[in-house]
Amino acid sequence: MKIPLALVASLSLLVAHALGADKPNLIWIMADDLGYGELGSYGQKVIRTPRLDRMAAEGMRFAQFYAGATVCAPSRSVLMTGQHHGHTRVRGNAGKANPAAQALRPGDVTVASMLQKAGYRTALVGKWGLGDIGAAESGLPRKHGFNDFFGYLNQRHAHNHFPDFLWRNEQRVALPNRVTRVGDGGAGYATEARVYADDLFAEEALQFVAENKDRPFFLYWSMVVPHANNERARILGDGAHVPDYGPYADRDWPAQDKGQAAMITRLDGHVGRLLDALREHGLARRTLVVFTSDNGPHNESKHDLGRFNPSGPLRGIKRSLTDGGIRVPLIAWWPGKVAPGVESPHVGYFGDWMATAAELANAEAPENIDSLSFAPTLLGQTHRQARHEWLYWEFHEGGFKQAALYRGRWKGIRSGSPDAPITLYDLDSEIAENTDVAAQHPEIAETISGYLQTARTELPDWEPRWRKR
């Protein structure tokens, strides 16, 4: 007897639901270049973020959580591989000179591939930056565990919020925006701006949740706001390209300041829509949602940093190894599981997502990762929370630099040469990192100096090129 296809599909969904009943849905939402101090729940006084502030009130806000790097591509590589900046595949924004250096390779295991193997439906919506059509196809999203992809492959292409095409899996999807190209790599800006990429991404994320509500899923929603359109900023003086200025339209501010604030408030609304949809579908109590940013705030839109104080109490911005460049907001929301209104002092970083997702999904994490699950903190089981002795970062633009955080307190930064003395900061006594305390704590400085000598593995594409200060 031939069984109707509709019945087969229904039975498959029932089996998938039964097998995944104890597996929570996992959603990682990441803003692009959003600073530690650009949300109301982290001290922002000017820009309105009511939905993310509500998310923090209903969930857990981490006070000391770190990105994988101080710029885009390596931060995403750390997030995906669970390896710290000195071990992960992609360690800098390679640019057009060496696109293969900015791509994952066969054999690199990602969070998505781990969860896909554990029975999750996986999707990436938005910016990828770890592989592209052409020389770096080894890093394409669907080769690294994503069932579905819609967005930008190339991070230069992602500068333009009104592109004339996006990618759906490996197919170009034309959009009605008219774009002026600037250089190569897909960069440019819209002279006729009709469709905003992040609005499309919000709709895609909502659709993915609706279509997969009966089975466990992992959604990596990688926004491109509030990143600047660098090319538009250079040519027109305003890199904050947004459909409208929203509640800031009548402010006596320059256009780029209105645009920066409007981007963040628009982002806030999109996150709110997703949380509402999870409730409407009855998924809120089965879904962990994490919101964060890929690195510290930028100033490439030419907006006024003094107006918004985007780093809050921290020193530095994107491309800094002080905490302003790498400490990011992180909010976790899971009604019934994550206690509301909690500020967590737990010190973690992007690489920990691998172990956290593995624990929650009962999946097998890869070996040789630099990842500690923060699920115990999320679930209020702090007595069993493991802690990092070390966190590590490096930076390859304008001369090589290294930084390490020792026991969540002591921050050491080295630049200029491999034997240069480190600058040491005590974050417990001064969060802004203005005072070098190496002379007062020589033993700590020596310990960190020794760690920096051995923290990284060598990769041909990412050899340190020191430059004297």
Answer with the one of 359, 388, 417 that is the final residue of a domain: 388
CATH number for the domain that contains residue 260: 3.40.720.10
Is there a single domain that holds both residue 163 and residue 64? yes
Tokens 């992609």 found at? 90
Is there a single domain that holds both residue 284 and residue 354? yes
Residues forming beta bridges with residue 78, ordered by sequence position: none
Is there a single domain that holds both residue 251 and residue 310? yes
User: Sheet holding 410-415: strands in order across?
Assistant: 390-395, 401-406, 410-415, 423-426
Tokens 């990429």 found at? 197
Tokens of 193: 């701006």
CATH number for the domain that contains residue 451: 3.30.1120
pLDDT at residue 187 in the model: 83
pLDDT at residue 5 in the model: 47
pTM of the complete model: 0.95
pLDDT at residue 4 in the model: 58
Helix (H, G, I), strand (E, B) or coil at 391: strand
In a domain, 12, yes or no: no
pLDDT at residue 22 in the model: 86
pLDDT at residue 443 in the model: 98
User: How many other C-beta atoms lie within 10 A of the C-beta of residue 111?
Assistant: 30
Q: Per the structure, how many domains does the chain have?
A: 2
Tokens of 210: 């609706």
Is there a single domain that holds both residue 306 and residue 415? no
Is there a single domain that holds both residue 403 and residue 384? no
pLDDT at residue 135 in the model: 81
List per-residue pLDDT tens for the chain, 469 residues long: 455 544 544 444 444 444 456 899 999 999 999 999 999 999 999 999 999 999 999 999 999 999 999 999 999 999 999 999 999 999 999 766 688 899 999 999 999 999 999 999 999 999 999 999 998 999 999 999 999 999 999 999 999 999 999 999 999 999 999 999 987 666 899 999 999 999 999 999 999 999 999 999 999 999 999 999 999 999 999 999 999 999 999 999 999 999 999 999 999 999 999 999 999 999 999 999 999 999 999 999 999 999 999 999 999 999 999 999 999 999 999 999 999 999 999 999 999 999 999 999 999 999 999 999 999 999 999 999 999 999 999 999 999 999 999 999 999 999 999 999 999 999 999 999 999 999 999 999 999 999 999 999 999 999 999 986 5
The answer to whether the beta carbons of residues 179 and 190 sit under 8 Å apart is yes
Structural domain that includes position 162: 23-388
In a domain, 120, yes or no: yes
> What is the signed CA dihedral for 295, 301, 303, 305, rounded to 10 degrees?
20
Long-range contacts of 247-256 (CB under 8 A, 24+ apart): 247/48, 253/304, 253/307, 254/303, 254/304, 256/301, 256/302, 256/303
Query: Distance (Å, rounded) from C-alpha 287 to C-alpha 74?
Result: 27
pLDDT at residue 183 in the model: 76
Answer with the one of 388, 420, 441 that is the final residue of a domain: 388
Query: Distance (Å, rounded) from C-alpha 422 to C-alpha 408?
Result: 17
Is there a single domain that holds both residue 196 and residue 96? yes
pLDDT at residue 10 in the model: 45
